Amino acid sequence: MSYVLNKNGVDMTDIISPNQLSFTDTHLTSSTASIGTVITYKIKTTNYAGESKYSEPLTITVGLVPNAPINLRISS
């Protein structure tokens, strides 16, 4: 059994194993996804008997990670 990840309606060639707990989209670069780009992922299971339907979609919007706070003061 394996999983097939679909990104924006296209099945990706990456094979995801049943033991895998996370996935990093290495195809996501500044040239393919600028700030504000909306990406939708779905996943399906495949095995010798065929494939399942896709999962519910997960939609993300590419953004920047905020900077760490500066000049932060904590008082009690």
pLDDT higher than 80, residue 30: no
More confident residue, 69 or 5: 5
pTM for the model stands at 0.72
pLDDT of residue 75: 78
16 vs 64 pLDDT, higher one: 16
- Mean of the per-residue pLDDT values of the chain: 86
65: how many CB neighbours lie within 10 A of its CB?
5
pLDDT in tens, 32-58: 778 888 999 999 999 999 999 999 999
Tokens encoding 52: 């399942």
Determine how many CB atoms are found less than 10 A away from the CB of residue 45.
16
Please say whether the beta carbons of 3 and 45 come within 8 A. Answer: yes
Model pLDDT, residue 51: 94
